[in-house]
Amino acid sequence: MNSRYAGRRSRNIIAMILSLSATLFGLGWLVLILGTLLWEGFSGLSLRVFTEMTPPPGAAGGLLNPIMGSLLLTFLAVIIGTPIGILAGTYMAEYGRHEKLTSVVRFINDILLSAPSIVIGLFVYEVVVYPMGHFSGWAGAIALAVIVIPVVVRTTEDMLTLVPDTLREAAASIGLPRSLMIVKIAYRAAKAGMITGILLAVARISGETAPLLFTALNNQFWSTDLNAPMASLPAVIFQFALSPYKDWQALAWTGALIITMAVLTLSIVARALSASGKQS
Amino acid sequence: MQPAGRRTVVDLALQDNSIRAEAASRSRVLARLQLGDSGFRYLTRAAALGVLALLGGVIVSLVIGAWPALRQFGPGFLVSERWNPVTENFGALAPIYGTVITSLIAMVIAVPVGLLIAMFLTEMCPMWLRRPIGIAIELLAGIPSIIYGIWGLFVFAPFLQDTLQPFLIRIFGDIPVLSTLFSGPPYGIGMLTSGLILAIMVLPFITAISRDVFDAVPPVLKEAAYGIGCTTWEVVRYVVLPYTRVGVIGGIMLGLGRALGETMAVTFVIGNAHKISASLLAPGTTISATIANEFTEAVGDLYTSSLIALGLILFVITFIVLACARYLLLRIERRIG
């Protein structure tokens, strides 16, 4: 009896130690990756990074054109993807909550949400780049928009479902048409959550590389022409990091630091926003 | 609310001469609102159908793009190891093999570690630490994959080359099966390194979902087990895990879907070699890495088409895995909710 108890206790202790070390292991990676990133990226961080174009190998330069390219592509992707996502999410939560169509769309949307982004790149290549005959900024923005849509659909539906029905009934009882009720009441009640969703979508696409490789391609020079190939931070990091030139590699680290900081800031803001939304 | 009801109110009002003018304008407003109402409804419905069309579009465009290669090589495409752009002879076996093996390595490491972290977070961790640690783990999921790639190439691969890989070669050098698994020079980059990086990347997904389903176990069940004297480990092993099995498997499949489709991190450290080696230390390639590396340089329709066919295979595999994952998670959601 006693030895059995000792055995159970020691198994428990082993399991506890294992789970504690697993947690430390997981956190360790975060510290390691962020640490290296700060260490390698900070040394190259200067005003020049934000004011000069990407250099040829061996020359000094910055990341101005990829930064602008990334901002522009992200902005366009959100402008294209968000309305579609919000409208689809609205249908699922407001009009067709119990319809078969809604559960089918939800299922498909969840699959799109975690579909490999490189496949999205191939899709946009087939649909946009190939018919146009050349790589373009538009193709990149569309590829990113395809990634934005499922994220926004998901959060919009979830947030609208949380809006209490009493609010809708109150709006209906004073004669508000359903569409106005959705726009003026339900959207307003779910605002924090929906903005969180958009921020998460921005965080997700600002680091995406795979779908840009053969849509927006890359561009060594300053270009805001959406019909031409466009530089983006992830694509430049990919190119520079795999190059044999030391100063290109250093710029790649700096770019990586900028992206990571942007993404982490966005996701922390999104988290804070959704936390404050839950309390109120 | 009901359009018919609205009209009767207006009709009643119209019978009264004194407010006829006002009622007429009111009915115009109502008509406009009604139009806007159904317009909005159709707009949202179209957007919802658009999501379905998006998936359909992805499948159709990939099939069309892959058709020349599939017609040329037939089912042999799946089982051929050849990959020769010069003679335009392509087969998908090496990338499929690489994708499966790297994902397998990732899951072997990430599943136990992820479950243990979830156990720590739900059963052992002091309350005030739960949120910060949970957020930190989720931040790992937020780091873009290209960051894992550059970190893997410049930091992790050299580290493995100097420490873990020579160690593995020395330890397993004399054991029959394992010696082939860990043979060859320590390149640093290769299948094992990619698998390890993937493990770090899918860890947060598995942890987050396991933690959520662990949290959903009714406290009474756990309290009852603790009440008859179960240890923490026994509660997790015999109460929490059986109760949440379906959800945990769903979370694992979701992680697997990520690992299979992950592109950038793997592209940096896999070495892009179109061959199947018995050794895990050897460079290889995965479906996504092949596409990322070669697509823009592909000359000739057959080459491009073969790469799109690879994309189609990847999409089909991940679609099946993700569909299973969602189905399982849906089942547990229904049971809890």
Q: What is the pLDDT of residues A103-129, one digit of tens each?
A: 999 999 999 998 899 999 999 999 999
Is there a contact between A116 and B143 if contact means CB atoms under 8 Å apart? no
Q: What is the pLDDT of residues B35-51, one digit of tens each?
A: 888 999 999 999 999 99
Task: List chain B residues with CB under 8 Å of A178.
Answer: 1, 37, 40-41
d(CA B290, CA B276): 14
Is there a contact between B116 and A19 if contact means CB atoms under 8 Å apart? yes
Per the CB < 8 A criterion, the answer to whether A65 and A50 are in contact is no
* A27 → closest Cβ in B133, B264, B295: B133
* A264 → closest Cβ in B125, B142, B254: B142
Give the least confident one: A32-41, B106-115, B237-246, B326-335. B326-335
Judge whether residue B10 has pLDDT over 70.
Answer: no
Residues of chain A where predicted confidence (pLDDT) is lower than 70: 1, 277-280
Task: List chain B residues with CB under 8 Å of A90.
Answer: 44, 47
pLDDT-derived band at B336 (thresholds 50, 70, 90) equals low
Judge whether residue B1 has pLDDT over 60.
Answer: no
Is there a contact between B37 and A18 if contact means CB atoms under 8 Å apart? no
Q: What is the mean pLDDT of chain B?
A: 87
Compare all CA atoms of chain A with the CA of B235 and give the residue at the minimum distance: A12
Is there a contact between B268 and A102 if contact means CB atoms under 8 Å apart? no
Task: List chain A residues with CB under 8 Å of B322.
Answer: 110-111, 114-115
Per the CB < 8 A criterion, the answer to whether A235 and A209 are in contact is yes
Q: What is the pLDDT of residues B56-86, one digit of tens each?
A: 999 999 999 999 999 999 888 888 888 888 8
- Once rounded to an integer, what is the mean pLDDT over residues B181-207? 90
Tell me if chain A has a CB within 8 Å of the CB of B102.
no
Of B75, B154, B228, the C-alpha closest to A41 is B154
Task: List chain A residues with CB under 8 Å of B258.
Answer: 114
Nearest C-alpha of chain B: how many angstroms from A256? 6
Task: Provide the pLDDT for residue B273.
Answer: 86
Task: Provide the pLDDT for residue B54.
Answer: 94
Put simply, the chain B residues between 258 and 317 with a CB less than 8 A from any chain A CB are 258, 260-264, 267-268, 288, 291-292, 295-296, 307-308, 311, 314-315
Tell me if chain A has a CB within 8 Å of the CB of B36.
yes
- Once rounded to an integer, what is the mean pLDDT over residues B156-177? 85
- Once rounded to an integer, what is the mean pLDDT over residues B169-184? 80
Tell me if chain A has a CB within 8 Å of the CB of B124.
yes
Tell me if chain B has a CB within 8 Å of the CB of A38.
no
Is there a contact between A115 and B51 if contact means CB atoms under 8 Å apart? no
- Once rounded to an integer, what is the mean pLDDT over residues B296-318? 91
pLDDT-derived band at B321 (thresholds 50, 70, 90) equals very high
Q: What is the pLDDT of residues B265-286, one digit of tens each?
A: 999 999 888 888 888 888 999 9
Amino acid at B201: M
Task: Provide the pLDDT for residue B8.
Answer: 60
Judge whether residue B119 has pLDDT over 60.
Answer: yes
Give CA B71 to chain center in angstroms.
30
Is there a contact between B55 and A108 if contact means CB atoms under 8 Å apart? yes
Is there a contact between A119 and B58 if contact means CB atoms under 8 Å apart? yes
Task: List chain B residues with CB under 8 Å of A107.
Answer: 323, 326, 330
Higher pLDDT: A267 or B17? It is A267
Q: Can you state the percent helix, strand and coil of chain B, rounding each to 5?
A: 80, 0, 20
Is there a contact between A26 and B137 if contact means CB atoms under 8 Å apart? yes
pLDDT-derived band at B13 (thresholds 50, 70, 90) equals low
Element (H, E) at A276: helix A246-279
Is there a contact between A118 and B124 if contact means CB atoms under 8 Å apart? no
Per the CB < 8 A criterion, the answer to whether A85 and A156 are in contact is yes
* B261 → closest Cβ in A83, A116, A153: A116
Judge whether residue B2 has pLDDT over 50.
Answer: no
Q: Which of B10, B29, B42, B120 is most worth mutating to test chain A (most A CB atoms within 10 A of its CB)?
A: B120
The distance in angstroms from the start CA to the end CA of chain A is 54
pTM for the model: 0.89
Neighbours of A188 (CB within 10 A): 12
Task: List chain A residues with CB under 8 Å of B260.
Answer: 116
d(CA A195, CA A191): 6
The alpha helices in A91-174, defined as continuous H runs, are 100-113, 117-124, 130-132, 137-162, 165-173
Task: Provide the pLDDT for residue A280.
Answer: 43
Element (H, E) at B83: strand B83-84
